[in-house]
């Protein structure tokens, strides 16, 4: 018998995860029950302590081969009810028809202090929804998802989380032959905009109603009291999506594939593929080489998020009952996005009051950053070190600009604005450093970790995870991880291939 197929040993938390399977209680049209496809000779690549804490899972469990094997898909967690869900969606703005969990299997949900959390294996083999895919995820993309899930969580941005990453020497063909991996993802729900599109497009309004009621009762019970709960659901999801994208913009994060099947009904960041964090600021930056039209460029993300909410509204229209009701729910997107973005920019610049000219200050700042391709993360971080009546700390941030005169002119405006609210250096600096990360998951740092991992050296993944768990801390011993990327980093590309 293969060691990865041994019966499960009843260790402390492993056999005691109290699974509930609410999604599995829906009618069988919503999913297909199936087991993950076993993975030969799996090994542990990485595990997140903070994600494990979310579900009360003991990290010591991962010293056992049977636990590793189970999270590779070689066994079934006691009490789980594995399934792959069906959904549809728009991909790059074009209706793609039926999609579904083509390489992900939902195990079930575990009650936690903050509500139920679903566990899902990604890269766990073929499902009825795999279409032409092989149901596997490669190590390269799995490392990206694992680390970014945890980095975003530490930044305070709503996201799915990643418990562990399991590797194997089993290989598949992508642009090249690559080894595979399985990520265990955690989220309150993996229901997507495309889950609703599926039933509406197929004119199965009964199932659409069941899904909407399930989502409301499970995740938005307060909306049940609304005059029109389905209109209230659309409004709440639209608001959450607007806030989420504002948070992305504020840290320079680009998702890369904002298809409707990658949009969470809970306003979470899900499905990490060819994402990127901004290095030199360019509002038109496209992080996904598969995005030939630039649909998902940084500057387009708010507009596309709004478009996706319209697609959700179209799907919920049979339940809402009127176009006017749907339009009223959607109308909150723009004001919610602008208000959230304004709030975040005030925080990033250490401004605790709002004044009429602030918009102009922000616009001129971004225009200056665009013209100079200023490093996004470093600029906001170093800005927090500036003093109101001293130029001692000016040179570090000044060095980010080719056009020093333009920066000096803007800096004079910024200092004047700070004086108008009697800003104090000793209060402003910690406030700004608490919202402007020093460390983000830059593409070149990922590339280094991936290349080492392909040689079975997982130390860089572990190191990055620890650094990114505290992105706002100084961590002087890791200062090189906050530096501007080397020249070779600009040649790195990410695509939809995984």
323-330 vs 229-251: helix crossing angle, rounded to 10: 30
Is the sign of the CA dihedral 251, 255, 256, 260 positive or negative? Answer: negative
Distance CA 228, CA 240 (A): 18
For 181, half-sphere exposure in the C-beta direction (CA atoms, 13 angstrom radius) is 27
The catalytically annotated residue of 66, 81, 101, 261 is 261
3-class secondary structure per residue, the chain: CCHHHCCCCCCCCCCCCCCECCHHHCCHHHEEECCCCCCCCCEEEEECHHHHHHCCCCHHHHHCHHHHHHHCCCCCCCCCCCEEECCEEEECCEEEEECCCCCEEEEEEECCCCCCEEEEEECCCCCCCCCCCCCCEEHHHHHHHHHHHHHHHHCCCCECEEEEEEEEEEEEECCCEEEEEEEEEEECCCCEHHHHHHHHHCCCHHHHHHHHHHHHHHHCHHHHHCCCHHHHHHHHHHHHHHHHHHHHHHHCEECCCCCHHHEECCCCECCCCCCEECCECCCCCCCECCCCCCCCCHHHHHHHHHHHHHHHHHHHHHHHCCHHHHHHHHCCHHHHHHHHHHHHHHHHCCCCCCCCCHHHHHHHHHHHHHHHCCEHHHHHHHHCCCECCECCCHHHHHCCCCCHHHHHHHHHHHHHHHHHCCCCHHHHHHHHHCCCCCCCCCHHHHHHHHHHHCCCCCHHHHHHHHHHCCCCCCCHHHHHHHCCCCHHHHHCCECCCC
Q: Shortest CA distance to 34 belongs to which of 105, 86, 137, 132? A: 105
Instruction: Say how far apart CA 42 and CA 70 lie, in whole Å.
Output: 9
Contact 61, 77 (CB under 8 A): no
- Assess whether 261 carries a catalytic annotation: yes
Cβ-count burial of 22 within 10 angstroms (0-12 exposed, 13-18 middle, 19+ buried)? middle
Q: Which residues are catalytic?
A: 261
């Amino acid at each position: 018998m293969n060691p990865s197929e041994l019966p499960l040993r009843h260790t402390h938390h492993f056999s005691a995860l109290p699974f509930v399977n609410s999604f599995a209680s829906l009618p069988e049209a919503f999913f297909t029950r199936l087991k993950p496809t076993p993975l030969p000779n799996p090994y542990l690549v990485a595990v997140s302590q903070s994600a494990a804490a979310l579900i009360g899972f003991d990290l010591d469990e991962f010293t056992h081969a049977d636990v590793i094997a189970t999270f590779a898909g070689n066994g079934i967690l006691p009490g789980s009810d594995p399934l792959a869900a069906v959904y549809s969606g728009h991909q790059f703005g074009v209706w793609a028809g039926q999609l579904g969990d083509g390489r992900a299997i939902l195990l079930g949900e575990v009650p936690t202090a903050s509500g139920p959390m679903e566990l899902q294996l990604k890269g766990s083999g073929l499902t009825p929804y795999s279409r032409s895919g092989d149901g596997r995820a490669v190590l390269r993309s799995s490392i990206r998802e694992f680390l970014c899930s945890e980095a975003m969580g530490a930044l305070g941005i709503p996201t799915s989380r990643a418990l562990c990453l399991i590797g194997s020497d089993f290989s598949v063909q992508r642009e090249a032959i690559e080894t595979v991996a399985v990520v265990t993802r955690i989220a309150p729900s993996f229901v997507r905009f495309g889950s609703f599109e599926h039933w509406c497009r197929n004119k199965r309004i009964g199932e659409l109603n069941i899904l909407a009621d399930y989502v409301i009762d499970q995740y938005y019970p307060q909306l049940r009291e609304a005059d029109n709960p389905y209109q209230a659901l659309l409004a709440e999801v639209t608001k959450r999506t607007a806030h989420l994208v504002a948070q992305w913009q504020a840290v320079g994060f680009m998702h890369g594939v904002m298809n409707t099947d990658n949009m969470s009904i809970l306003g979470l960041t899900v499905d990490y593929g060819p994402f990127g964090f901004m290095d030199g600021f360019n509002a038109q930056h496209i992080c996904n080489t598969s995005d030939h039209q630039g649909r998902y460029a940084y500057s387009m993300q708010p507009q596309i998020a709004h478009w996706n909410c319209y697609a959700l509204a179209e799907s919920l229209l049979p339940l809402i009952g009127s176009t006017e009701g749907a339009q009223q729910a959607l109308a909150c997107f723009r004001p919610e996005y602008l208000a959230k973005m304004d709030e975040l920019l005030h925080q990033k610049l250490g401004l605790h009051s709002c004044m009429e000219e602030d918009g102009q200050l922000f616009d001129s700042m971004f225009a200056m950053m665009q013209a100079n391709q200023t490093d996004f993360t470093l600029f906001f971080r170093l800005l927090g070190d500036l003093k109101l009546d001293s130029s001692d700390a000016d040179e570090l941030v000044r060095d980010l600009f080719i056009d020093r005169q333009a920066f000096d002119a803007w800096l004079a405006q910024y200092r004047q604005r700070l004086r108008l609210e009697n800003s104090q250096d000793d209060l402003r600096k910690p406030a700004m450093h608490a919202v402007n990360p020093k460390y983000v998951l830059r593409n070149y740092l990922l590339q280094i970790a991936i290349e080492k991992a392909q040689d079975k050296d997982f130390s860089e993944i572990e190191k990055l995870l620890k650094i990114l768990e505290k992105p706002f801390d100084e961590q002087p011993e890791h200062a090189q991880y906050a530096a501007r990327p080397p020249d070779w980093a600009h040649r790195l590309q990410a695509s939809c291939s995984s």
